[in-house]
Structure 1
Amino acid sequence: MNKISISALALCAAMAAPAAFAEDLNVVCSNEQTWCDLMAQNFKIDTGVNVAMIRKSTGEVLAQLRAEKGNPKVDVWWGGTGDPHIIAANEGLTEASGVDVSGLLGWAQNMTEMTDGKAIGVHVGLLGFIYNTEILAEKGLPTPACWRDLAKPDYRGEIQVANPNSSGTAYTELATLVQLFGEDEAYKLLAEIGANVNQYTKSGSAPGKAAARGETTIGIGFMHDMVKLKKEGFPVEIVAPCEGTGYELGAVSVVAGTPHMEAATKFVEYVTSAEGQSPGLEVGVYNIPSNPGAETDPEAPDMASVKLIDYDFATYGSSETRERLLARWEKDVKGAGGAIEE
């Protein structure tokens, strides 16, 4: 009797547990480290699939996928700005997962259509800048409100931004200013801002964190990362530039040639679900999720309240455009001031 009961209980437990996969799923994550870690943990709990997660900026991931084409070391790329995901799709570095996106917001579906199903939108992030109110007051600096303000000599050595070669955030800034002002005027402005930059970081969220800690006065990046800093009590204010600003369509893509397509598809389904996206609030993720059922925070950036440009993802997500803009940035902007690199 006891043996039968124990066997029955074991059978019930086995039926209730998520099915485990024989091999780990390798994911490269371009979100914040805490969000990467939480997603890996939750996905394992809910599906039984082990995830080996590593964090890299979008430019680093694109370079890795190019280097590993035909022999990929990762199965899925989750997070990061949409432009490099589009480039990866166009270069055959990623493949369609076949996941149904009909329940996602329109901009997420547009990303899927734009890439023939190879990239799916997971969030929107609005570009802006942040300043430390205490340092601004101590130094008697004017309050910045516009992109052109950042070129003022008052801010010499006071600004931090990421390097667009490694950071999708910084590439979004570069592409945004080109679309706002025209290419020649944008590079003139970028060089003037560059004269005020004290450091080019590898990560796009690093400048905002530096401003919050008082290591720089102004940081350029995505506003949702800055909301987290403000909610944590740092003396900062967030600015949506007066001329208008660009935005990212964060995405998830399956790497072409993955031997773990079933688990990869399951991961894409999970990170685009309300269940998968909502826990981001637990670790201060305040971007705009692609699943309308996901929970959001009232202090998160609102697309309707910010002057946004009509960001041309097809043009600025092409390999040719990206390489040309980055080459010109290296030539005309990088050496404009005395900035160091992380």
Structure 2
Amino acid sequence: MVFGIRTAFCGLLGATALVAASSSAQAAGNLNLICSADVVVCELLENAFEQETGVSVNMVRLSSGETYAKLRAEARNPRTDVWWGGTGDPHLQAAADNLTQQYESPRQSELRDWAIRQYEASGGKTVGVYAGALGWGYNRDLLAAKGLEPPLCWADLLKPGFKGEIQIANPNSSGTAYTALASLVQIMGEDEAFAYQKALNDNVSQYTKSGSAPVKSAGRGETMVGVVFMHDAVAVAAEGFPIEAVAPCEGTGYEVGSMSIVRGARNLENAKLWYDWALRPDVQSRLKEAKSFQLPSNKLAEPPPEAPDFDAIKLIDYDFEKYGATETRRALLERWDKEIGASAQ
């Protein structure tokens, strides 16, 4: 699948930003936001939106799985207006469960095909804001100290040398880990994927709550390998840690980080204001300031030069509709809890 990551930066950004800023300046009131990206990204967006619009943002950082659970729990009395970021599968599940509402932004025509497909798959209730490929990051210093070869394939992670040296998140709380689970099922078939994960469990030291936590631990030397989205590994490497990012040789899935307006949002107009603002090319181009190295969804945005090259990655034809569906997701997570989680170290 070709995403065209090296899209040229468009000179219209300045004019576009000026027009958008003037239309949203001095907006009043509040916005209750859940952000499922790295906290540094969340804070950058929160502060920039507040400064430009005058809207007071009440931001909470939660993982994708936690956010979905929160929206379900508050369905009769929503306390959230907008959910920004995190893997697209739980956004699709929230849409299917009628927890979010339809909205079409005037920016729709500027978006990449995969962002629009996410919108269409959800019945207009969510949209893609960025994309990132699944892989892992390994600590090259720890690897060298043990005399191990770099793990370049999913099969390599099962080698005895990595016993107790791998971290991956729990798919119940982490969209990253659910993407890994769904990707393995699509690559191997369900039974083989669960057999693989049972074998992998012998090498896993911890199932973390956050999807990006494993590679941060690898950067600090607390574990050798963290299974994450590749851009998270690139971000840790950009901070000076000895991390190498890997796209697995057998193929891998990817995320379409998404954005949704919550059904029954108390601050609906400001939710729409955020939605349109977050799709602007100049806003998406700023994410690299927070070391966010995903591919932005607006074709006019400037991708970070450090972003993994999607054209060089063997991407599977990830079935977002199927694996974002409530029944599929619930069945996979229940099986994971029974066969993997119950025996986790």
Q: TM-score normalised by the shorter chain: which range applies? A: over 0.9
1:140 Cα deviation after fit = 2.0
Alignment of 1:26 onto 2:24: no
Structure 1 partner of 2:312: 305
1:19 Cα deviation after fit = 2.1
Q: What do the CA deviations read for 1:187-214 (whole angstroms, capped 9, x no partner)?
A: 0001111111001100000001000110
1:16 Cα deviation after fit = 10
| Secondary structure in structure 2 of the residue aligned to 1:145 | coil
Q: Aligned equivalents of 1:271 and 1:16: distance in 2?
A: 14
Alignment of 1:293 onto 2:300: yes
Structure 2 partner of 1:252: 259
Instruction: Report 1:17-56 matches (<5 A).
Output: 18-21=25-28, 23-56=29-62
Q: CA RMSD, aligned part only? A: 1.4
Specify the structure having the higher radius of gyration (Cα): 1
1:182 Cα deviation after fit = 0.3
| Aligned partner (choices 224, 243, 249) of residue 242 of structure 1 | 249
Structure 2 partner of 1:58: 64
Q: Paired residues, what number?
A: 323
When normalised by structure 2's length, the TM-score is 0.91
Structure 2 partner of 1:146: 153
1:70 Cα deviation after fit = 2.1
| Secondary structure in structure 1 of the residue aligned to 2:173 | coil
Moved over 4 A (4+): none
Alignment of 1:135 onto 2:142: yes
Structure 2 partner of 1:6: none
Unaligned runs of 5+ in 1: 1-14
Q: What do the CA deviations read for 1:72-100 (whole angstroms, capped 9, x no partner)?
A: 01100000000000000000000012313
Q: Aligned equivalents of 2:342 and 2:160: distance in 1?
A: 16
Unaligned runs of 5+ in 2: 1-21
Q: Is the 8 A contact 1:159 1:218 kept in 2?
A: yes
Q: Aligned equivalents of 2:120 and 2:303: distance in 1?
A: 25
1:331 Cα deviation after fit = 1.4
Q: Aligned equivalents of 1:337 and 1:29: distance in 2?
A: 29
| Aligned partner (choices 207, 213, 220) of residue 200 of structure 1 | 207
Mark the CA change 1:231 to 1:328 in structure 2 (over 3 Å): closer, same or farther. same
Q: Which amino acid in the other structure matches residue 85 of structure 2? A: G
1:215 Cα deviation after fit = 0.4
Alignment of 1:75 onto 2:81: yes
Percent of counterpart pairs with the same letter? 51
When normalised by structure 1's length, the TM-score is 0.92
Q: What do the CA deviations read for 1:199-252 (whole angstroms, capped 9, x no partner)?
A: 110000000100011000000000111111112221111110000000000000
Q: Which amino acid in the other structure matches residue 137 of structure 1? A: A
Q: Which amino acid in the other structure matches residue 59 of structure 1? A: G
1:299 Cα deviation after fit = 1.9
Q: Which amino acid in the other structure matches residue 49 of structure 1? A: V
Instruction: Report 1:204-215 matches (<5 A).
Output: 204-215=211-222
Alignment of 1:158 onto 2:165: yes
Structure 2 partner of 1:265: 272
